[in-house]
Every structure is written in C-alpha cells, then in structure tokens.
Chain A
Amino acid sequence: MIRYAIKRLLLAIPTLFVMLTAIFVLVRLVPGDAAAVILGDQASEASLRALRTTLGLDQPVYMQYLSFIGDVLTGDLGRSLSSGRSVGQEVLLVLPYTIELTLAAIVIGVALGLPLGIATAVRRNGWVDYAGRLISLVGLSFPAFVSGILLLIVFAIQLGWFPVLNSGSSGDPIERLRNLALPAFNLGIIMMAYVVRVTRSSMLGVLGEDYIRTARAKGVRPGRLVIRHALRNGLIPIITVVGLYFGTLIGNSVLTEIIFNRPGLGKLILGALNARDYTLLQGLMIIFAICVIAVNTLTDLAYGLVDPRVKYK
C-alpha cells in the first residue's frame, strides 16, 4: 500500500506542472496589452508602465514563466490588484463558507441519493426505478443557477420560508442554518442525481454476482442481503463519484453562491472577473488546480485502500 501511495503521489507532480503551465498560457491569452486591459483606455503611459513592471510583463516570456513557477512553489500566489491583499488571504476569508456549503451538499446528496439508488436497483424496471431514473436525469439536466432560481422563487419569495437575501455571516446558528438550507439543497439535488445513477448501476452489477445468489440461497434476509452483502461491495464506485464530483461541485457552487448571494469562492471569482483582477483570477485558478489534483489523488488512494486489487495494477 505504501509503495502504491508513493507512486500515486509522485504521479501528481508532473500533473501539477502541466496544469500550472496551462494556467500560465491561459492568462497570457488576454488579447493585446494586459496592462491596458486592466487599467482601461484612460490610463496614462506612466501608470501602464508601472503596472507592467509590477506584473513582470516587461520581462521576456521564459523569465515570466520561471518566476511564475518559482512563486507558486514558494507559496506566493500574488496579490489581488483591486484589494491589495494576497490571494491566500482573499481565499481564506471566504473559504469557510464554501466548505460549509459543499459539505452540506455532499451530506444531502448522499443521504437522499444512496437509498433512492439502492431502491431503483432492487426494484429494477418497476415504477420506483422509472421515477428514480427520471428524477436523477432531471437533476443532471439542471444548470445549478436554473434550479437555484426556481428554488429561490418558490421557497423564498412565494412561500417565504427562507431568506431571499442571504447574510451568510450571521452569528445565530438557527439563522445560519436557514441561510444555508436552500443553497445546500440546490447543490445537494445535483449531487443526489449523480449518486442515484452510480449507486443504481453499481448495485445492479453487484446484485448479479454469484455470491449474492449463494447468500440468498442460504436464506439471508433481503434487507441484510442488500445492505451487508451488496452495498458494501458496490460502495467503491460511489466513493469515486463523490470524489470526481468535487470539481463539478465547485463549478456549481459558483453559480449557487451568485443566486443566493452567499460569500464564497464563487463570488470571489465573479468579483475578480468583473474587476479584471487577473492576478486574483490566476491565483484562484492555481488553487483550484491544486485542490482538484489533491482530491483526485486522495480518491485514488481511498480506492486502493477499499479495493486491494487496485494497487497491483
């Protein structure tokens, strides 16, 4: 296991480099002079030159690349052009909100999706199966901002059960939960849709195995059969999906935070975008890239831990 883990961790290093290089290239795709784009048409030549020096744009490209990689490796992600705070500080300010939201969404998604997925597999081709599949397909079809707006209109504006304007930072725990409920549910139903699909196909695969038939022949009760014998073995793909879904979850949380006016990484990206704060955008991209690689690696490691066959591949 340790050898597998080391190999997997070493594999993450080239991936990270490719990702960093891609981000470097992407940021330099800004057409024309980046300094002029940031400062606008009215900027004086002196301030343009000053900004170019700050951003290192007066250096040759390979020097820019080397100092970019060097900065990232030493943990320096740059400073926000608009607030002057370091990218790390900006992220730490809003990170708790995003973590709170994504964790709540994962809990809701798994709590709703796992039982429904099992039910669709056990009652295959029955009405539960059809309903479950349709629900999950509708869930997959919703762009996060569409479902968010519909939830907002129905539950916050029409029924008034939840606040329309989210303060997010309220100290009162009940108020905080009320603020969290709709956005978490919005992300949770999309998560649920993924979990239902994977659980269904994974359980269908496992339920057809010989050892399930053996257990059934031995007289194991149906409930115990599904939970103890089938689910435990069908769980591996489900774990993977929760891991893989992380990226989608982050993407969708951007839209969800905009709709429900919650502070978080999504709002931070949008703010950086509107303010043409390219250093903040670049820093955020790097952080996302690192997060995605870390979660991928962890998912693979978890996979190896749950299924001993994996590490011999």
Chain B
Amino acid sequence: MGAAVSSSPARPGGLWLAFSKNRLSWVGLALLAIIIIVAIFAPLIAPYDPLEQNIVARLEPPSAEFLLGTDSYGRDVLSRLIYGTRISLTVGFIAILIAMTIGSMIGILAGYVGGVFDQIVMGLLDVMLSFPTLLLGLMIAAMLGASLENLIIAIAITEIAPFARIARAPTISLKQRDFVEAGRALGFGPVRIMGVHILPNMISDVVVMSSLWMASAIRTEASLSFIGLGVPPPTPTWGSMIREGFENILDAWWLAVFPSLAILLTVLALNLLGDALRDAIDPKLRAE
C-alpha cells in the first residue's frame, strides 16, 4: 500500500513525510503488522488445534496450560483467537477490495460522464450512505444465508458508496486538466482516458481511505458473526466467539473479553493508520 501511495505522480514525498511525523500512525502500523503476522503464521503460533474439543477441560479459566482459558467445548481460547484473526482480515480485505473496485468504477464514471447521470448516481449513493451499515449488511446476509462468501458480498455492498464518493471528486477536477484534454484530442476513447489517465492520478486517495473502511468492514463482520449471520461454526471467528462467551458471561468472563479486545485492537490499529494517512493527503492539514 505504501508503495502505491508514494509512487503517485500527483503527490511526491510530502505524503510520506507527513505520515511518518505522526507518532500515532506508527503505533497503528506496528499493531497491524503484528496482527497480520499472527494471521499468516497462525498454525505455528497457536498452541492447540482451534477445533479440538476436550471434555475434561471445559470452561477452564486462564492458566499456564491454557493462557486465555477454554470454552464450553474445552477448546483453547487463545488458539481460536489466533485463527479468528484470519477470518476477520480475510473478510475485511476481500470485501474492501471488491467495494473499492466497484465503488471506484462507479465514482469515476459518474464524475467523468457528469450531468443527469451523475446526479442520479450520487442521489442513490446518498441513500445507501445514510442507511445504517449494520442493518444493510444484516438484511443482505439474512436474505442470502450465512456463509463466508455471502458475508463478504454483504459487507462489500455496504462499503461501495463511500468509495464511489471518494473516487468521484478527484475525477471531476482531473477531467478538466490539460493532459486529459490532450488525450481526448488524440482520439482516445473514454474508457482509455478513465483507465489510463484518470485512475492512476486518483488511486492514492482511494487506497488511503481503504484502511478506514476496512476498520468498518471488520467491525461489521464481527457484529454479523455476533448476531449469528457470520461464517458458520465450528470455524473460529471473533464475533461468534463473543456470542458463545456472551451465553456464558456469568461464569466465564474470559470467553467474551479476549476476542472483544482483539477486535478493538485491530479496528483501532486500522483507524490510527487510516486517520494518519487521511491527514497526510489532506493538503490543508499538511500545510499547518
């Protein structure tokens, strides 16, 4: 992501400078790096098999043997937490990638075509934006049925509108620039102008925002899993772990608390990073 941002021709080194000066952004980056490493090397790090049930060790509190305790099937909470990282990051990443692709295409098209088409598209996006993300995701996931693919689709749909908005604004200013005019004079078709001349010049704006919306996507995934619309059991996901923990909240607090902290840390890391990146590309804030 860093490479894509700093190679943008419209914004030279200043972006990186502004980003690296912000201390909180480093905290976010470090946290995120740790979380990604945990997800990739889950089988090496996890002390137990996340699916292995152990009838004699049910609802054990945190101890030297089970660092974060065990759940009502005797499964190790720490191992499930580690594997859960994979689901959260995968769903968040793929959903955002889909939303970013579709959203950017809609935004560029609306901005480039302009006129009535633009007004209609933006009106629709406003409606989508104002509908609560969680409810929209909940409705779509409920209608499609609970599975990993449907979860990703539902979350991707809820995140399309903000990407389209972000992609549209720079498109409108870019299409009046000389190099676009020159391309048109040379007889390039609109698809080529949008894809080759406009997209590379605004992609950094879109990519930068994606970490903020990935935070939102992960939050939605956890919420849907908590409600019971996520990846079906026995696959460990943070949201469904909290759901199980919530059912045992009076006698096993650790079941709900640790996955809660995991979600909080992941979302916070992405928000810290996203905030710093957004401040860095905002010339108003950078100048100060």
Which residues does A use to contact B, with CB under 8 Å? 14-15, 18-19, 22, 26-27, 29-31, 134, 137-138, 140-146, 149-150, 152-153, 157, 164, 244, 247-248, 250-252, 254-255, 258-259, 269-270, 273-274, 281, 285, 288-289, 292-293, 296
Interface pair A149/B132, CB less than 8 Å apart? no
A contact residues around B223 at 8 Å (CB)? 143-145, 255
Cβ–Cβ < 8 Å partners of A22 in chain B? 127
* Contacting residue for B257 out of A134, A150, A244, CB 8 A: A150
CB neighbours of B45 from chain A (8 A): none
Residues A146 and B132 in contact in the complex (CB < 8 Å), given A141-B264, A270-B227: no
Q: For the complex, give the distance between the alpha carbons of A152 and B247 in Å.
A: 13
| Pairwise interchain contact A153-B256, C-beta atoms closer than 8 A | yes
Distance in angstroms between the alpha carbons of A157 and B127 in the assembled complex = 41
* A149 in contact with B127 (CB, 8 Å): no
**Which of A152, A248, A252 is B249 in contact with, Cβ under 8 Å?**
A152
Complex contact B242–A145 (CB within 8 A): yes
A interface SS class: helix
Question: Other CB < 8 Å A-B pairs besides A31-B144, A254-B135, 17 of them?
Answer: A14-B123, A18-B124, A27-B143, A30-B143, A137-B268, A143-B222, A149-B245, A149-B246, A153-B256, A157-B253, A254-B227, A259-B246, A269-B135, A269-B138, A273-B227, A273-B229, A285-B139
Contact: A288 with B135, CB < 8 Å?
A: yes
A residues near B131, Cβ cutoff 8 Å: 19, 247, 288-289, 292
Write out the residue numbers on chain A whose beta carbons fall within 8 Å of the beta carbon of B145.
Answer: 31
Question: Interface residues of B toward A: which range?
Answer: 35 or more
- Chain A residue at minimum C-beta to C-beta distance from B245: A149
Contact assessment for B135 and A141 in the assembled complex, using a CB-CB cutoff below 8 Å: no
> What separation, in Å, do the CA atoms of A273 and B142 have in the docked complex?
7
Chain B's nearest CB lies how many Å from the CB of A11? 8
In the complex, B275 has a CB within 8 A of chain A = yes
Cβ-based interface call for B219 (8 A):
yes
Cβ of A137 to closest chain B Cβ, rounded Å: 5
Give the docked Cα–Cα distance between A251 and B220 (Å): 10
| Complex Cα spacing A287 to B268, Å | 33
User: CA of A232 to CA of B273 in the docked complex: distance in angstroms?
Assistant: 32
CA distance A142 to B267 in the complex (A): 8
A248 and B127 contact, CB distance less than 8 A: no
Q: Say whether B271 contacts A146, CB under 8 Å.
A: no
Cα distance A269–B224 in the bound complex, in angstroms: 13
Say yes or no: is B260 at the interface (Cβ < 8 Å to chain A).
Answer: yes
- CB pair A145–B264 under 8 Å, yes or no, is no
- Chain B residue at smallest Cβ distance from A138: B268
Q: A258-B227, A259-B246, A289-B131 are in contact. Are A141 and B124 (CB under 8 A)?
A: no
Q: Which of B207-259 contact A (CB under 8 A)?
A: 215, 219, 222-223, 226-229, 242, 245-246, 249-250, 253, 256-257
Specify which chain A residues have a CB less than 8 angstroms from the CB of B222 in the assembled complex: 143, 145-146
- In the complex, residue of chain B having the shortest beta-carbon distance to the beta carbon of A37: B145
Give chain A residues whose Cβ lies under 8 Å from the Cβ of B260.
146, 149-150
Determine how close the nearest CB of chain B comes to the CB of A41; give it in whole angstroms. Answer: 15
Report the minimal beta-carbon distance from A17 to chain B, rounded to whole angstroms. Answer: 10
Residues from chain B with Cβ under 8 Å of A137 in the complex: 268, 271-272, 275
Contact of A145 among B133, B142, B226 (CB under 8 A): B226
With both beta carbons as reference points, the residue of chain B lying nearest to A205 in the complex is identified as B284
Return chain B residues, CB-CB under 8 Å to A248: 132-133
Complex-state Cα separation, A146 to B123, whole angstroms: 33
Q: Shortest CB–CB separation between residue A152 and chain B, in angstroms? A: 7
B127 & A15 in contact (Cβ 8 Å cutoff): yes
Residue numbers in A under 8 Å from B124 (CB-CB):
18
- Identity of the chain A residue whose Cβ is nearest the Cβ of B28 in the assembled complex: A137
> Whole-angstrom distance between the alpha carbons of A289 and B275 in the complex?
30
What residue of chain B has the Cβ atom nearest to residue A208's Cβ?
Answer: B288
B130 close to A (CB within 8 Å): yes
- Residues on B with C-beta less than 8 A from A289 are 131
Neighbouring B residues of A258 by C-beta, 8 Å = 227
Flag whether B140 is at the interface (Cβ < 8 A).
yes
CA distance A150 to B130 in the complex (A): 28
B202 within 8 A of A: no
Residues of A within 8 A of B132 (CB): 247-248, 250-251, 288, 292
Which chain B residues lie closer than 8 Å to A31 at the CB level? 144-145
Residues of B within 8 A of A142 (CB): 264, 267
Contact of A251 among B135, B142, B253 (CB under 8 A): B135
Pairs across A and B, CB under 8 Å, 11 listed: A19-B127, A137-B268, A141-B267, A141-B268, A144-B223, A146-B242, A150-B260, A157-B250, A247-B132, A247-B135, A251-B133
Of A15, A31, A251, A296, the most chain B CB neighbours within 10 A belong to A251
Report the bound CA distance from A273 to B267 in whole Å.
27
Docked pose: A269 CA to B228 CA in angstroms: 13
Contacts of A250 in B (CB 8 A): 132, 135
CB-CB < 8 A to A143: which residues of B?
219, 222-223, 226, 263, 267
Q: Are B134's CB and A251's CB within 8 A?
A: yes
Give the residue name and chain of the B residue nearest to A273 (CB).
B142
Which partner residue on chain B sits nearest A244 by CB separation? Answer: B130
